[in-house]
Chains A and B, each alone.
Chain A
Amino acid sequence: MNVTYPAASFRQNATPPAASVPLLGVQNLNVSFGPAHSRRDVVKSVSFTVEKGRCVAIVGESGSGKSVTARTLVGLTGARSHVQADRLTFQGKSIDHLGDTEWRALRGKGIGFVLQDALVSLDPLRPVGKEIGEALTVHRAIRTGAELTERVLELLKLVGVPEPAVKARQLPHELSGGQRQRALIATAIALDPALLIADEPTTALDVTIQAQILDLLSETRERGKAVILISHNLAVVSQMADEVIVMRHGEIVEHGSSEQIFGNPRHDYTRSLLKAIPSVQSRGSRLSSYKAPRFISAERDVTKALAQSDIAQRSRPLLEAEGLVKRFRGPDGKLRTVVNDVSFRLGHGETLGIVGESGSGKTTVARMALALERPDLGEVTLEGALWTAATEKERRQRRSDISVIYQDPLSSFDPRWSIERVIDDALARRRGDPLDRASRRSEVSELLDLVGLSSSFRNRRPLELSGGQRQRVAIARAIAPRPKIIVCDEPVAALDVSIQAQILDLLGDLKSHLRVSYLFISHDLGVVHHLSDRVLVMNHGVAVEAGAADDVFLRPRQPYTRKLVAAVPQLRFQAA
């Protein structure tokens, strides 16, 4: 990007502080929530400083206190929070115990803040330009309407939004995910704040868009601004940060330069986080130290399982898709081809990964594989028999051969059902030998055990479970009817990296234990590479490239695959 920052048009806030004073100083910060008698500590004794022109990353899982720490810096921890610190300074002035007016003067002007997912972080009913303009008008930074319009367009251009004049008048949902995130960043840097805090700025974005947003944040730092980057994605952090703070349960467990944290991590937790990242190197090894007790006694060699799947591939395919085409009518009444001539085969005990960015048609392919969507052209066959072309009545007999796991299991559970009922319901659909009530009961325990949950979970409800536990229940439900194939649609996209590692390990264990095949759909190349034998790369509804996972990801032939692979942030400074 060659856009230069129109420095002249922005006022510098204050005279730069003396060199010895850091831009931001946090000493012994404690934050707790709730009333006095049941106070919950979420941030404990956190201290750090941020210098001008530096990027400090805070990493940790959900609930680690990283976001609360950041929100403390703009005084937005909520009405029921108690913030207490020995020292909290910004540009040499104390920002401890500020009044509402003083905080407002600081927000946006001194410290800019970018939240994740601009689709919900920009007002869906206001044009994007108005949202950016708000940042300018609330601080009375401009005088006339013409000046405001000009400044808004300047900002949109600065963050690389094409056709600024058009986009400024559009609503957030009319912009692409990347443009939205850029616009959100524009609202945060509108007054050129000395510190920009970005809380998971790329979490909802595709890899190529993620790379562009990271470039944009890097430019901000290169202009001499400080950046605090909050992320659970360690690869992203290693690309950007000068310093890394690792948080867990509200405390800093390790703090050091990027080089030290990634090259020579000292704390066990940091090491386990690094180990949990699925990548080329992790293929064939475990990501987490956790293993369901079930699989420890019946340990199988991963390579043996892979060899078995090689044999399986040569025999008749389990699921075969031939020339799938699907068109949908858009809101303007025009037909759009969402899937265009896609073919693939899935063998016994094999994992086929389908990778692509949002809108590539991968989920529509999954829905056709499940025969939930009828292809306009082409067909899917299951063990050589009609599948998509069969009638629903014929298919119902064989529905139990294919299960599915979604990204968010919560929305596919009835929230009032107990876990036992969720799994029992799936067991009742098992074909062949109908189980009586008592044996179904013991089978539920068996399945829970298999996915690493104790029997005590049977009486819990979906809302009482954590994200990882819910996904385990979803897996138990999926394997209950003894399927031959499990379609996994972004099964780990909503999980923290260490939970993701456990789920991926569980899927790997089940594959060798149950000899099940996976159709594994994800936007995350590392995840797909870790688990898949073969992969299919999709772009705009077309299968761009297909082949063995290592061939496609390590030696991509097509330009699109190369671009995709190149956009994945790699861990820097990693010890060999």
Chain B
Amino acid sequence: MNAAKMIGHQSLWLARRLLSGVIVVWAAATFTFFVQFLMPGERAQIIFNANSGNVGEIPRDQLLAINAKYGFDQPVIVQYGRYIRDVMHGDLGQSYVQYQPVTDLIGRQIGPTIALAFAAVLTAWIITITTTVLFAGRDNIWPKALGGLQVFLATLPPYWLATILLVVFAIQLRLFPVVGGNTLMGLVLPTIALALEIYGFLGQAVLSEFTRVLDQPFITSSRMRGTGDLGIRLRHALRHAALPGITLSGWIIGKLLSGAVLIEAVFGRQGLGGVLVAATSTRDVPVVSGVILVSAALFVATSLFVDLTVQLIDPRMKEA
């Protein structure tokens, strides 16, 4: 295959992936839109409760006024069309409870969440690569010990670990702030708490592939050329072993975007997870939909990035 054709092939693949990404986000938008009709209670009642600050039957004139204001009196299909149109213009609606655009609300919280997710995955990778390269496939007790530690970390509840870290390093040793906010120092403990759990999974995936690859004939072949052990590990085995880990990382990042809420709560951090929990409990539908939509879009982007990275490491994937 010549280079020009390869590029054509590549851009066709990219176009197809982007299109399927758009479809995923559209499906998420449609799903969240129709699910709100399955939730108990009139939407106008929820808004009325939030506005008035107490729970009571909504008067009829108020009901009509709110329905007219939010367009709830329109046929469902019209509401849906309007919603999709707004989403395409980057408008995710108004929060029922907080009287502000959902995009502003998410915009303020998404930064800390992404920072934490990436810091945690990056840290987990650093630990994974270091321990794997040092200990995997050795003819001693270390690979087994490492495997055991990984299982232990994977099963450990991260918020429990977070609490221990908080008590020891922030409260007793006073090395880090108890409530860190968005400072760099405040990022350290939650990152470690999350990274250790991720390492439990990531480390296992990379370790087992690394061990498998060390037995492959091309590794023996390279040793027969006089390549030293470190060269074997860094130049040959690591690339192969990284592949399943990278695929797993995409899934982990996607999960962390809305799933780090417990860790965020322990450390008093802002984040998308907290927004989602609060919005769900107050039935703030536009915010719930918005968070789901943004998570879906980020997830699509992450998995595209993951696939491109995998292709960069293993060009054979381009042809598949």
Residues on A close to B: CB < 8 A? Answer: 74, 76, 79-80, 100, 104-109, 112-113, 115, 117, 120-126, 131, 134-135, 138-139, 171, 173, 184, 187-188, 190, 331-332
Contacts and interface: CB of A to CB of B under 8 A. Distances in A.
A511 B295 CA distance: 66
Interface residues of B, number: 27
B240 interface: yes
The B contact surface, by secondary structure, is helix
B225 interface: yes
B319 A138 contact: no
A112 B221 CA distance: 10
A184 B221 contact: yes
B225 A107 contact: yes
20 contacts: A76-B220, A76-B224, A100-B229, A104-B228, A106-B226, A107-B223, A113-B225, A120-B217, A125-B314, A126-B235, A126-B239, A134-B222, A134-B225, A135-B226, A138-B228, A138-B231, A187-B225, A331-B1, A332-B1, A332-B9
B224 A107 contact: yes
A187 to B, nearest CB: 6
Contacts of B17: none
A334 to B, nearest CB: 10
Contacts of B185: none
B223 A76 contact: yes
A199 B224 CA distance: 12
A139 B226 CA distance: 7
Given A134-B235, A138-B227, A173 B316 contact: yes
- Chain A CB within 10 Å, residue with most, of B9, B226, B240, B316: B226
A121 B221 CA distance: 6
Contacts of A126: 235-236, 239
A105 B9 contact: no
Contacts of B223: 76, 107
Contact of A120 (B1, B218, B236, B239): B218
By CB atoms of chain A within 10 A, which of B9, B220, B313 has the most? Answer: B220
Contacts of B231: 134, 138
Contacts of A115: 217, 220-221, 224
Contacts of B240: 125
Nearest to A111: B224
A108 B225 contact: yes
A244 to B, nearest CB: 24
A375 to B, nearest CB: 26
A195 B147 CA distance: 41
Which 5 A-B pairs rank lowest in CB-CB distance, beginning with the nearest?
A113-B224, A108-B226, A107-B226, A108-B225, A79-B139
B243 to A, nearest CB: 9
A190 B70 CA distance: 76
Contacts of A331: 1, 319
Chain A residues touching B, majority SS? loop
B227 A134 contact: yes
Nearest to A75: B223
B222 A123 contact: yes
A321 to B, nearest CB: 32
A134 B236 CA distance: 11
B292 to A, nearest CB: 37
Contacts of B220: 76, 115, 121
Contact of A121 (B217, B229, B315): B217
A113 B218 CA distance: 12
Contacts of B5: 332
Interface in B210-269: 216-218, 220-229, 231, 235-236, 239-240
Given A105-B226, A120-B216, A138-B228, 7 more contacts: A76-B224, A100-B228, A108-B226, A120-B218, A134-B235, A187-B221, A331-B319
A123 B217 contact: no
B235 to A, nearest CB: 7
A122 B218 contact: yes
A546 B229 CA distance: 54
Contacts of B319: 331
Nearest to B9: A332
A115 B220 CA distance: 9
A109 B226 CA distance: 8
Contact of A108 (B217, B224, B315): B224
Contacts of B218: 120-124
